[in-house]
Structure 1
Amino acid sequence: MVAQCVKQMDVSSDSSEDHSGVLGLTAERVKRQMPPEQEVLEMKQRLPSELLQHLKKKAVSILTYYQPEWENESEGLRSVKLSKLPELLDTEQKRAKSLTEKNRENGTLLQRQTHTYLSELLKCMNILQCLILDLRLKAQKDLDRKKIEYFEAKCEIGLQKIRAEMLEVQLDTYTRDKIAAHKKITEKLKVELKSSEVDKQAVESKLASFEIYGKDFEALAEEYSRLQQEIGTKSWALKEFST
């Protein structure tokens, strides 16, 4: 680099023009700032060994990280293990890559299992709802109709909660990057959400007749209000998902 500076600032002897040089420096002054040739030679001779020591120190640090017990072993065994360090690092890199891929697969599997679980739970809730209605109608024919509707409303709230969870899982699964490949699924979500809104309005009209039940009605009304807010939130999320 110094030689390049000297060459750039070199002034021809036959030139009569005054040259100021780079940053006001002359070639002679730059040469005076250069270290002695002997020091340069010694530095060149010393540099490979120092670089080797530095690289060895780095290798030792890496090996100690993976095998802490290495510090108490003999020098010969250390050298053998250092020679196998590239192989060890390559193995660790492959293992990390394998774990990353496995985690990704497990995440996908978990989403599928969650969706399947919620679907099965929804079926069970539908069966439970039918059993409750059948039991009430057969065993207690004279039971007040309002109480039957009250239990129906409670089951309906459970169904609405499960549908809301299913919508949330689907919204998390089908992100903005997958919209082009899942356009039909987006349309299906819109239909399901619209159906949930209709069901919500139907349950809301039923709940209006349950005020005579006191605290139980208040708890149910609070739960329904929370569910209504949750459906509103998912409606907004679906709207953002479709834009």
Structure 2
Amino acid sequence: MSTGPWSANLSSFGQGDSLHQQVLATFPLCDVTEDDLTQNPHFCKLLATLAQHVDQTGLTVPLKTELEKAEQKLQSQRRHWLRSECVHKGLQEMIQEHTIRKQHATVPPDQHMFYETMEKCLLVSQCVRQLDLSSTTSQDQPSVLGLNSQHLMELMPLEKNVQRMKQGLPKELDKHLKKKCFGLLSYYQPDWEHESEGLKNIKLSHLSAQLDNEKKRAESLKETCRESTVLLQRQTQLYLSEMIKCIQLLQSLILDHRLRIQTELDGKKLNYFEGKCDLVLQKIKTEMAEIQVDTYTVDSISAHRKIREKLDSELKGRQVEKQSLESKLSSFEILGKEFEALAEEYCRLRQEIEMKKWALKEFTHYNDK
């Protein structure tokens, strides 16, 4: 492969280790180490060439320009939406505060009329907006409950009340927003809460710039933290690779040393276990002898002999009796099934006789009482 095109594109990059460091700095999000670049020089040149056309996030210059324009347009639309949303939320908060204030104190009639008119106007406008289906559905879509915007506009307050409300609304809204801004200022710097209104207005005018500076500072710290994280990951990988090498070297040394002394160690262990086994066997024999000496005295041995002689004589007698019973049983079996029926009838009669003897005995015992 020819190196001419590569060298033309790499004119602004260094060579060797300098090139590797620049490539790693250009692509901080790429999980590549300096060893990977050293082992794959063509891949390193490819990354260096790509660095001429993309930024650190991997976007090309035209795409990044279009993205910035789209973000600016989005920010503009977002600011427009937030402006209207803040005004709407502010009006709702003013109505809520008036409702709470009305529960705890007496409100002047004109002020009550002002907030009541504003609440009705907001409610009607919200219903009209939700009833308008033209932006999402076709024009011939049936309306909700047969209503249209004209029906809802009939619920608007009187025109004179609406005009009076519109005249006083900017002042009241400005007062409410200023109160919220002062609350935000006190939250941002609690020490400024007891200062004068003029000083608060001055500091409030600089609050946006201060918050913007702090946001940029936080983003800068976040970027620094991200770069530090990437650097820490690379150092961790390098540290782990070195640790693995050290562990492998240590394992090889341990294995070599163990192989040299393993035979001698196994022989010593074998001798040790043999001696320990002999000692345990001798101890077991000694314990068994002590148990026999303690258990079988001269008197107990003579008594055991007498018991054994008696048991032997009884065993012989039972064996003789067993043989006689077996001979009788075999003679009975020769007689066949008729004798078996007679034997069962005999057993039944014996049981009835025993039961009648027991009943007679119980009856006699009861009569004696």
User: Which of structures 1 and 2 has the bigger CA Rg?
Assistant: 2
- For Structure 1 versus Structure 2, the TM-score category normalised by the shorter chain is 0.3 to 0.5
TM-score normalised by length of structure 2 = 0.29
Considering Cα pairs closer than 8 Å and 6+ residues apart, tell me whether 1 or 2 has the greater RCO: 1
